[in-house]
Amino acid sequence: MKTIKDSVHDYIEVEGVALSLLDTPPLQRLRHVSQLGTVTLVYPSANHTRFEHSLGVYHLADQALSHLGIEGQQAERVRAAALLHDVGHGPYSHNVEGLIHRHTGKYHDDVHDLIGEGAVARVLTEHGLNPDAVADLIAGDGELGQLVSGELDVDRMDYLVRDAHHTGVPYGTIDHGRLVRELRFRDGELVLAEGNVQTAESLLLARALMTPTVYSHHVARIAKAMLRRASARLLEATDTDPETFRRMDDAELLVALRSTDETAEIGRRLTYRDLYKRAVWAERAAVPAEVLEMEQTAIREREREIAEAAGVDPAAVILDVPPEPSMAESSSRVLVNGTVRRLEEQSTLVRALQAAQRDRWRLGVYAPADVRERVGDAAVRTLDLDIEGARVSDTPRGIHTTLDEFE
């Protein structure tokens, strides 16, 4: 057994298959993939990695299994899946996940190929575990897969607390000790025990507060959009194989961006936090339906049109159209008077939070500070945004702004 000191859970005891997995390159690689990507440009202390998070998820899974009375190979399989659940992340985690998916067809939780061969497969097999079965759990399949990836998974219990610890934003500080204790299985579904409607709500609320403050902070969104754009350019301009790209770590990607002509400028900007600014920041009501539904190619096309209209270089315009917000936790299940209820049926809060989240949706157009105004004007016209007045002023309009101190 090995005991590892963690700044969130204090001591994490690693043994069995997890101990052997610890030294495999796919897991050690996560030391070089940051948990929150560009969020560190807003919260400078948020430099934690997928590696420490993976240890934390393993730890909570182990506790949950023990409270649930699940033992033996079944438990060992879940612990392996918990530790490995993030090996599928590309550089900067979620920041370029969409790009990777377009090129490889894989999201980060599709890891059958990654753990089905090499050191990880070897270790799993030696411990009598089927790599495919572990990959299934990581994808959230099966009853026990809910523990690893689902509405009540230990993944989100760890990341909320860990992100709070490292950003300094307290909202994520959920009571994971209680959550882990109150998990139950009922008819194959992972639920919270009687008396925990509020416990479930607290998880939902924590994420609802962390999302705009941390995960979707507009500065993090700008940097993420820049990173995405530059990464796409890197794949086009060089012979970098998408699979190689997917296996890069943060350092490799940043160095690659800086040393490739076509991406050097954005690489430099990301390195030294010399970011684009918001030229437009528009609420949903101001955005025509067809803009909301655009695919990547259409978006790239529109960016070029805006750039042309504004008389700037195409690289100077980034159009950021986020998807519909989702709230997986809404369908988490709770026992109420002996029957399983979905949280959204039970809690008047859930619908309100969903509405609140939709209210906070914003379309962004980003540009270098010196052409921000021109690009803003051009974007309003090109995208036919419903914003009164012609000039896009310093304060982006059409919004309940979150122009806070971290701009």
Q: Which residue has the tokens 């700008």?
A: 222
- Interacting span for its own copies (CB under 8 A) from 105-113, 142-150, 269-277, 373-381: 269-277
Determine the 3-state secondary structure of 5 from DSSP: strand
Letters for 285-304 (x = contact with its own copies by CB under 8 A, - = none) are --------------------
Residue 205 binding its own copies, by CB under 8 A = yes
- Interacting span for its own copies (CB under 8 A) from 68-76, 103-111, 251-259, 286-294: 251-259
66 Cβ contact partners less than 8 Å away, ≥ 6 residues apart? none
Pick the binder of its own copies from 349, 371, 379, 380 (CB under 8 A): 349
Cα–Cα dist 313/306, whole Å: 10
Determine the 3-state secondary structure of 128 from DSSP: coil
Nearest CA to 117 out of 134, 100, 104 is that of 134
Residue 370 binding its own copies, by CB under 8 A = no
Residue 347 binding its own copies, by CB under 8 A = yes
Q: Do residues 283 and 401 lie in contact, with contact meaning Cβ atoms separated by under 8 Å? A: no
Q: Could you tell me the smallest distance in angstroms from the CB atom of residue 300 to its own copies?
A: 28
Q: Do residues 189 and 146 lie in contact, with contact meaning Cβ atoms separated by under 8 Å? A: yes
Q: What angle do CA 183, 186, 191 make, to 5 degrees?
A: 35
Q: Could you tell me the smallest distance in angstroms from the CB atom of residue 381 to its own copies?
A: 23
Tokens of 243: 């699979």
Cα–Cα dist 324/361, whole Å: 8
Pick the binder of its own copies from 15, 23, 345, 370 (CB under 8 A): 23
Nearest CA to 93 out of 160, 22, 30 is that of 30
β-bridge pairing 333-336 and 339-342: antiparallel
Pick the binder of its own copies from 237, 264, 355, 369 (CB under 8 A): 355
Alpha helices for 118-196 (secondary structure H): 118-126, 131-138, 142-148, 154-167, 176-182
Pick the binder of its own copies from 101, 127, 165, 186 (CB under 8 A): 165
The number of C-alpha atoms within 13 Å of 128 and in the hemisphere containing its C-beta is 6
Letters for 116-155 (x = contact with its own copies by CB under 8 A, - = none) are ----------------------------------------
Q: Could you tell me the smallest distance in angstroms from the CB atom of residue 47 to its own copies?
A: 5
Residues 211-250 that bind its own copies (CB under 8 A): 212-213, 250
Residues 36-75 that bind its own copies (CB under 8 A): 40, 43-49, 51-52, 55
User: Which one, 23 or 117, has the nearer CB to its own copies?
Assistant: 23
Residues 80-119 that bind its own copies (CB under 8 A): none
Residue 369 binding its own copies, by CB under 8 A = no
Q: Could you tell me the smallest distance in angstroms from the CB atom of residue 304 to its own copies?
A: 30
- Eight-state DSSP code of residue 39: G
Pick the binder of its own copies from 198, 236, 290, 308 (CB under 8 A): 198
